[in-house]
Amino acid sequence: MSTSTHAAPVAVPQQAGHGAPGHGHGHHPGLAHHFDDLEQQRDSAVYGMWAFLAQEVMFFGGLFIAYIVYRNLYPEAFAHASNLLNVPLGATNTAVLLASSLTMALAVRGGATGSKPTQLIMLLATIAFGLTFLVVKYFEYAEKFEHHLVPGPTFMSDPAHVSPFFTAHPEEIPHARIFFFLYFAMTGVHAAHMLVGAGLMAWIFLRAKKGEFVPEHHDALEMSGLYWHFVDIVWIFLFPMIYLLGYHFGDHHG
């Protein structure tokens, strides 16, 4: 039913009503039959994607409000626990993600100009940056496991990796545990989004390779780009909120 509507000959002359003189064929093969034209189809995709992203704001919003509430309750524990994170790695990952957003924007631009090589190269670069981010994150997580900074029975049991603040104030350790729970929950959910994004980009890459994305119709490439940029924005907030709270103390133990 979907693309075989050519069988209805009446449909073809009606399309000419859009004022496309000399445009021989009835409609673009990428135009679904329930849309008037490609612009309406693209607009619907954009609105749908933003509705999904608004939902994503609420999804992450729950974790953000948990962070805000607990940080207000235990500001000192949060700042000192934050100081146990690795700022250079976090900053590196911020730069990597921003770079991936640039290559993503350039891939979508390659869709708008119809340049298949640009699409392919920039999508590969986006995937590479995304995987780089995840590899760095893996090393960060591994270090936290080794240092006993993962919420659990042995949390902060290694004196070499506990700042003097928590040695002097053991009653604050449960609050640091909340911080590290939020650290793993927020960055973990974010990393899950990165994994989904990398898979999405691999799929979009294969479609780009088939030459699917042309200037007048590259909605899938563009909508995937919106998702990728959104995940970047989440990290733009996570980085200062999680890594930099106690950076000015100077006694860094990460």
**Interacting residues toward another protein by CB under 8 A:** 18-20, 23, 36-39, 42-43, 46-47, 50-51, 53-54, 57-58, 61-62, 64-65, 68-69, 72-73, 87, 91, 94-95, 98-99, 101-102, 104-106, 109, 112-113, 215-216, 225-226, 229-230, 232-233, 236-237, 239-241, 244, 247-248
* Cβ neighbours of residue 119 closer than 8 Å, sequence gap 6 or more: 107, 110, 111, 208, 213, 221
Closest residue by Cα to residue 248 from 75, 67, 82, 71: 82
Q: Nearer to another protein by C-beta: 156 or 231? A: 231
Q: Nearer to another protein by C-beta: 26 or 134? A: 26
Tell me how far apart the alpha carbons of residues 214 and 219 are, in angstroms, rounded to a whole number: 9
How far does Cα 102 stand from its chain's mean position? Answer: 13
Q: Nearer to another protein by C-beta: 92 or 134? A: 92
User: Cβ of residue 180: shortest distance to another protein, in angstroms?
Assistant: 19
Q: Nearer to another protein by C-beta: 79 or 156? A: 79
User: Cβ of residue 85: shortest distance to another protein, in angstroms?
Assistant: 12
Q: Nearer to another protein by C-beta: 54 or 202? A: 54
User: Cβ of residue 240: shortest distance to another protein, in angstroms?
Assistant: 4
User: Cβ of residue 17: shortest distance to another protein, in angstroms?
Assistant: 10
Using CB atoms within 10 Å of the CB of residue 160, give its burial: 0 to 12 exposed, 13 to 18 middle, 19+ buried.
Answer: exposed
Q: Nearer to another protein by C-beta: 82 or 156? A: 82
User: Cβ of residue 152: shortest distance to another protein, in angstroms?
Assistant: 27
222 in Cβ contact with 100 (< 8 Å): no
Tokens of 14: 């009606």
User: Cβ of residue 49: shortest distance to another protein, in angstroms?
Assistant: 9
Helical H segments across the chain, by residue range: 11-15, 38-73, 75-82, 87-113, 116-146, 164-168, 173-209, 219-238
Tell me how far apart the alpha carbons of residues 184 and 145 are, in angstroms, rounded to a whole number: 11
